A and B are shown apart, each in its own frame.
Chain A
Amino acid sequence: MTDEAYNFAYLDEQTKAMIRRAILKGIAVPGYQVPFASREMPMPYGWGTGGVQVTAACLVPEDRLKVIDQGADDTTNAVSIRKFFARTAGVATTERTVEATMIQTRHRIPEVPMKAGQILVFQVPIPEPLRFLEPREAETRKMHELEEYGLMHVKLYEDIARHGQIATSYAYPVKVEGRYVMDPSPIPKFDNPKLSCSPAIQLFGAGREQRIYALPPWTKVESLDFDDHPFKATKAAHDCDLCAAGDSYLDEVIIDDQGGRMFVCSDTDFCAGRRAKGHKGRLWAPEPEAAE
């Protein structure tokens, strides 16, 4: 049921128009961080307010919304954001990636490939890929303007000199269509290849930092690397203990105090779908009813 006290999807229409203008500009200049007048939302900054504003600006009543956090539909913050839109927009929600027209995500890209017509909205904490190399916004904007990315390459090179490899495992920087270096949000670098040439629209919202950026469909996105140290998407060297998938990103779960652990798909919809098809992992067992 929609909450009558608020406009459709909470934000007033002028605010949505302002956000849509920022999104359109972002789509026109892929990878460029567009400043926008982020609003205070009824959830804290840092908890997805940028993604929520982008989702609110894009939602239409016919949409079917999926919200994931760390790949899962049932983590607390995903539940909270899904409820927020169910309440303020009255849109249908789903946990199925293939059924969703819009997906708001924190830190993952679903395992099932995205389709044309879908919109994937990323929640972004720090949109500036150069921020931890240069804390000043005035400086980093200039660096983007001048395409001055030497500092980033030096950082990656120093990683190799010190560790023999690039020691960045998530929020791994990418270059968009050979121009802007972009922060892909803190997704594991395992997900980076999915960003490139995706048929879906990918939108990034950073509420506290007041930035929106975008990847239109079929945009080429390259993870930064060197010829002799090519980028490699990595994951735990296991199969899912519930659905036996060998190609999905895994969460590690500690199961006793003797060092016992199991690995399960971080994408809960993907894992459940495989189990429904009869795939059984090493530790698979039927779910106890009482746990619901």
Chain B
Amino acid sequence: MYVAVKGGERAIDNAHAWLAEERRGDPSVPELSVAQIREQMALAVNRVMAEGSLYDPDLAALAIKQARGDLIEAVFLIRAYRTTLPRFAASSAVETAAMAVDRRISATFKDLPGGQVLGPTFDYTHRLLDFALLAEGLPAPAPGTPAKPQPVPHVTGFLNRDGLIEDAPHSEAVPPDLTREPMELPADRALRLQAITRGDEGFILSLAYSTQRGYGRTHAFVGELRIGQVAVEVDIPELGFAVEIGEVELTECETVNQFKGSRTEPPQFTRGYGLVFGQSERKAIAMSLVDRALRWKELGEDFTGAPAQDEEFVLMHADNIQATGFLEHIKLPHYVDFQAELELVRKLRAEALALQEAAE
């Protein structure tokens, strides 16, 4: 009798070769270039950058190509790569008030300094399949006017002037780094925001949705949503001043939340905050709702047992790379544990059946 305990190594090599072939698909169809993915699948690229915690559209596009479009697999490739990169500096805090906005909307004021800018949005499209896209061709150029550079102040700033919204004082505290230190609970807000911004979009979306339906209700209005480029500056110790090293595209969402006051806080609006790499509007809004729900303790609210209020539940389950790894590991061999369980169930059954027989 021969038992197939050998052959794993060759099976793995062959499986990988087959995977490479499948990834390419039908060779009579032209191969997708990384540049095509970067330019035409930009929102997928943004998601991979956000959840991969690495701002590099080319690498994100490459990861999407390599992962056959499986975005969580692509995020994984990016994470595994970024962890090997040296860190030579930390940037200064980016100035989102100085963002060159492509899109900036407020749901709380009809008009405001800086104006409402719709930008490239799906919002008012009719979701009808556009069969014209089956054919290749350039879209008609969009009408444009030259940008008038003007400051685009934050909406929450207007409310803050009247004391209607909680103050968010400037802090020089160095935030903890989730990627370099083990997560210790309870976490402060900076650490929570880090975990949520790289958390799975679907998970954060569902948690945010649950707060809207009453599981930890926070009554959110989108005070402001803005998308655009911000400068990234790094302090160079030898020079004694900060130098701009590049630009990143960010989506920022600030919610204004109804608040009737609590034992410790006066009635005023409160804040939820979302900041995500790229144009990632759904994620940024969801993030700000979850952020607000998690702030129940500092605002003196009650813990209602809602999942979105539960810091440990949210932070320990938001990361899709951890989640998918652990979920999928159950397809690995478990012969040994299963054998131990088999023996136990057999033994328990034999005893139960013997008891039954004795009773009869």
* Chain A residues near B343 (CB-CB < 8 A): 169, 234-236
Q: Tell me the bound Cα distance from A163 to B337 in angstroms.
A: 19
Q: Which residue of B lies closest to A171 (CB)?
A: B337
The answer to whether A40 touches B83, judged by C-beta atoms less than 8 angstroms apart, is yes
B133 at the interface (CB under 8 A from A): no
* Chain B residues near A42 (CB-CB < 8 A): 80
Contacts A12-B84, A79-B8, A249-B336; A35 near B322 (Cβ below 8 A): no
* Chain B residues near A223 (CB-CB < 8 A): none
Q: Which residue of A lies closest to B177 (CB)?
A: A37
Interface size for B (C-beta < 8 A) is 51
The answer to whether B7 touches A70, judged by C-beta atoms less than 8 angstroms apart, is no
* Chain B residues near A46 (CB-CB < 8 A): 322, 325-329
> What is the number of contacts between chain A and chain B, taking CB atoms within 8 Å?
156
B340 at the interface (CB under 8 A from A): yes
Q: Which residue of A lies closest to B10 (CB)?
A: A292
Q: State which of A96-104, A176-184, A193-201, A283-291 sits at the interface with chain B.
A: A283-291
Q: Which residue of B lies closest to A190 (CB)?
A: B340
Kindly provide the distance from the CB of A257 to the nearest chain B CB, expressed in whole angstroms: 16
The answer to whether A208 touches B322, judged by C-beta atoms less than 8 angstroms apart, is yes
B142 at the interface (CB under 8 A from A): no
B180 at the interface (CB under 8 A from A): yes
Which A residues between 206 and 262 are near B, CB-CB below 8 angstroms? 208, 210, 234-236, 241-242, 249-253, 255, 262
The answer to whether A170 touches B341, judged by C-beta atoms less than 8 angstroms apart, is yes
B244 at the interface (CB under 8 A from A): no
Which A residues between 153 and 202 are near B, CB-CB below 8 angstroms? 163-165, 167, 169-171, 186-190
B4 at the interface (CB under 8 A from A): yes
A51 at the interface (CB under 8 A from B): no
A77 at the interface (CB under 8 A from B): yes
A149 at the interface (CB under 8 A from B): no
* Chain A residues near B328 (CB-CB < 8 A): 44, 46
The answer to whether A37 touches B181, judged by C-beta atoms less than 8 angstroms apart, is yes
* Chain B residues near A285 (CB-CB < 8 A): 1-2
* Chain A residues near B7 (CB-CB < 8 A): 74, 291-292
* Chain B residues near A92 (CB-CB < 8 A): none
Kindly provide the distance from the CB of B246 to the nearest chain A CB, expressed in whole angstroms: 24
* Chain A residues near B348 (CB-CB < 8 A): 163, 165, 167
* Chain A residues near B335 (CB-CB < 8 A): 70, 251, 266
B334 at the interface (CB under 8 A from A): yes
* Chain B residues near A10 (CB-CB < 8 A): 84
* Chain B residues near A163 (CB-CB < 8 A): 348
B12 at the interface (CB under 8 A from A): yes
Kindly provide the distance from the CB of B286 to the nearest chain A CB, expressed in whole angstroms: 23
* Chain B residues near A250 (CB-CB < 8 A): 339
The answer to whether B322 touches A70, judged by C-beta atoms less than 8 angstroms apart, is no
The answer to whether A291 touches B6, judged by C-beta atoms less than 8 angstroms apart, is yes
Kindly provide the distance from the CB of A6 to the nearest chain B CB, expressed in whole angstroms: 7
Kindly provide the distance from the CB of B73 to the nearest chain A CB, expressed in whole angstroms: 10
Q: Tell me the bound Cα distance from A242 to B179 in angstroms.
A: 48
The answer to whether B337 touches A107, judged by C-beta atoms less than 8 angstroms apart, is yes
Q: Which residue of B lies closest to A35 (CB)?
A: B182
Q: Which residue of A lies closest to B328 (CB)?
A: A44
Contacts A138-B185, A138-B186; A266 near B3 (Cβ below 8 A): no
The answer to whether B336 touches A125, judged by C-beta atoms less than 8 angstroms apart, is no
* Chain A residues near B339 (CB-CB < 8 A): 188, 236, 249-252, 266
* Chain A residues near B326 (CB-CB < 8 A): 45-46, 125, 208
Which B residues between 307 and 331 are near A, CB-CB below 8 angstroms? 312, 316, 321-322, 324-329
The answer to whether A45 touches B340, judged by C-beta atoms less than 8 angstroms apart, is no
Kindly provide the distance from the CB of A148 to the nearest chain B CB, expressed in whole angstroms: 19
The answer to whether A167 touches B333, judged by C-beta atoms less than 8 angstroms apart, is no
* Chain A residues near B179 (CB-CB < 8 A): 37
What 8 A-B pairs are tightest by C-beta distance, nearest first?
A45-B325, A46-B329, A44-B325, A169-B340, A46-B326, A283-B1, A35-B182, A46-B325
- Contacts A/B (CB < 8 Å), 18 sampled: A36-B182, A38-B182, A45-B322, A47-B325, A72-B5, A137-B316, A138-B312, A165-B348, A170-B336, A170-B337, A187-B336, A188-B337, A234-B343, A235-B343, A241-B1, A242-B1, A249-B336, A250-B339
Q: A188-B336, A264-B5 are in contact. List 19 more A-B contacts (CB 8 A).
A: A38-B182, A40-B76, A44-B324, A44-B328, A47-B325, A49-B325, A76-B8, A77-B332, A83-B9, A125-B329, A190-B340, A208-B322, A236-B339, A236-B342, A236-B343, A249-B339, A251-B339, A268-B5, A285-B2
